[in-house]
Amino acid sequence: MCGIVGMISYRKVSSLLLEAIKKLEYRGYDSVGMACLHEGSLEIRKDIGKIADVDSKVDFTSMEGTSGLAHSRWSTHGAATKINAHPHSNMEKSISLVHNGIIENHHELREMLVKKGYQFSSQTDTEVIVHLIDSYYRGDLREAVSLALKKIDGSYSIGLLCSQHPDILIAARKDSPLIIGIGKKENFIASDVPAILSYTKKVIYLENEEIAVVKRDSAQVFDLDGKERKKEVHMIKWSTEKAEKRGYDHFMLKEIYEQPDVISETVEGRIGDESIDLSSEMKMSAADIKGIKRIIIVACGTSWHAGLIGEFMIEELAKIPVEVEYASEFRYRDPILERETLVVAISQSGETADTLAAIREAKKKKAKILSIVNVVGSSIARESDMVLYTKAGPEIGVASTKAFTSQLVVLYLMTVYIGAVNGSIVTDQVKNRVRDIRLIPMQIRSILEEADHVELHAKKFFTKENALYLGRGINYPIALEGALKLKEVSYIHAEGYPAAEMKHGPIALIDKNMPVVVVATQDNRTYKKVLSNIQEVKARGGVVIAIETKGDTETKKYVDHNIYVPKNSYILSPLLASIPLQLFAYYIALLRKHDPDMPKNLAKSVTVE
């Protein structure tokens, strides 16, 4: 989950590296460091804290050199201390290395290296790699890296410089993303595209167990046995502007407000006046689609919540049984996958380590893999049989907002498309479903126009330390997602429950100091039941904040505070209800003086187990 960027150039790189690593700070902000190679020697500067704070203390931009590495850390092995910050070096300070991932056998390797006389200065697993490379180095740097990586169990993306090879930058990866940027008289490595987008839009995606030898005017890629691999150069289609704040105070707020346009972009080219067509993306014949007997959705975090809503959508409309699995648990049992099972993987980054491992387990059992991801060319996308891109553009805020709603839109389009093909949804119903999704961008804009109303409610509750979120049916996962958002950015303890489950334990917590957020949009299924649950809360002295359908006069009789959303179909109500809950969490974070873009202990792309 750490940020890595490296450059080998014709010009001084320290200021360029600093600007690049700032664009990856969402991947980790426990510490930051930089190494630059100048006149045959490596200089390293690093410290704990966010980039701006560290730079004010150590002055990165005064470092000389035309090649360098920078790193922003999310701590795994070893606390967030200066000595544990990256880059790490060998004992002679001739090799400098940055790393993202987890080395699972680092204890054994450390013991072996200590016996050989190597001295360790940090508690990180990363330092094992640099000493291991040093132990194999006999003049051929790439070969030393290959030999070392063959000894490593776990995940890694690494960048390294060696003072004895000033004209090359080495990069390698396994189960942790790393790209090569192709520039003019300079080349780059990075763990994510935004870092290098100001310098080039041409990228090469490294695959597992590949090593790149990057020079100013070339980039060669090899496998661990030294065989060269020909790689395709891809063009990034989105601009640097999409990755910047554009006048908003925070990325999270910007991305909340981008949702109407994102959803319009997500449906563009996929829906007609009366139909939905995903045939070119799903690459399944009508017979194959009709043959789907079961769908398993694997995901983590917010994407798992999207999967839960997808379960309701698919079973309701396409009439196919669905199971939603935590990707982190899926491969640690022996899942039963028939040939007629479709496995759907959901991940914003397309690099989520647990989700990637889950689809690999499913592929072993010959299941078809359909991924729903945001990042073109990501590992999950490349390893799937089919991909439905969410088209949300870069999401920098750690707490997912626009990626989540675009995932819901893709799940909806997929559901209606499959249902239309297998005959579960007739033509007139498809037409109505298309009409409903076309309304969503305008309806979200209307919610955002009343954001100040949500902010007023945040001011009433930001001092609370606990909250309960309730929902029923398809809105139960939105209760989970609303609680997660509040936890992520405000650090308030919040839990989401199916409203009927409140009586089976959580009701014991309810009093005047426990705000209860209830998703109570109108429908013909659970609405009256939710009203009863609200009254149960009120009978215990609880304070209720309700997400209601605009025009509803019944709910307001029982609740203390109302936040309204427009009316749409039952299936799409979660999409609308999620918007005020995102705003609510954002404003509470600000009132509690927390940075919503960099919540403590979290990172954007979870690339370790």
DSSP-based three-state secondary structure for 346 = strand
CB-CB neighbours of 301 under 10 Å = 24
> Half-sphere exposure of residue 437, counting CA atoms within 13 Å on the CB side?
30
For residue 29, CA distances in Å to 432, 460, 597 come to 46, 31, 11
Cis peptide before 194 (omega within 30 of 0): no
Residues 191 and 158: beta-carbon distance below 8 Å: no
Give alpha helix (H) positions in 248-401: 251-257, 259-267, 279-282, 286-290, 301-313, 327-330, 353-364, 379-383
DSSP-based three-state secondary structure for 270 = coil
Which of 134, 131, 72 minimizes the C-alpha distance to 106? Answer: 131
The rounded distance, in Å, linking the Cα atoms of 186 and 480 is 46
The rounded distance, in Å, linking the Cα atoms of 376 and 369 is 16
**What's at 504, amino acid-wise?**
H
**What's at 239, amino acid-wise?**
S
> Half-sphere exposure of residue 325, counting CA atoms within 13 Å on the CB side?
24
Q: Please give the distance of CA 193 from its chain centroid, rounded to a whole number.
A: 14
The rounded distance, in Å, linking the Cα atoms of 34 and 301 is 32
Residues 355 and 327: beta-carbon distance below 8 Å: yes
The rounded distance, in Å, linking the Cα atoms of 418 and 422 is 6
Selected catalytic residue, list 46, 485, 487, 604:
604
**Cα torsion for 15, 21, 25, 27, to the nearest 10°?**
-170
The distance between the two most distant Cα atoms of the chain, rounded to a whole number of Å, is 79
2 included as an active-site residue: yes
Structure tokens at 182: 């192709």
Which of 199, 204, 191 minimizes the C-alpha distance to 233? Answer: 204
The rounded distance, in Å, linking the Cα atoms of 563 and 552 is 11
Size (the chain), residues = 609
Selected catalytic residue, list 2, 36, 162, 300:
2
Structure tokens at 565: 């959303």
The rounded distance, in Å, linking the Cα atoms of 255 and 476 is 24
DSSP-based three-state secondary structure for 233 = coil
Residues 40 and 79: beta-carbon distance below 8 Å: no
Q: Kindly give, in sequence order, each residue whose CB lies less than 8 Å from that of residue 484, ignoring residues fewer than 6 positions away.
A: 301, 302, 305, 494, 496
The rounded distance, in Å, linking the Cα atoms of 342 and 354 is 18
Q: Is the dihedral of CA 526, 529, 535, 537 positive or negative?
A: negative
* Geometric angle at alpha carbon 144, from 141 and 146, rounded to 5°: 110
Burial class (CB in 10 A: 0-12, 13-18, 19+), 57: exposed
DSSP-based three-state secondary structure for 73 = strand
Q: Please identify every residue annotated as catalytic.
A: 2, 604
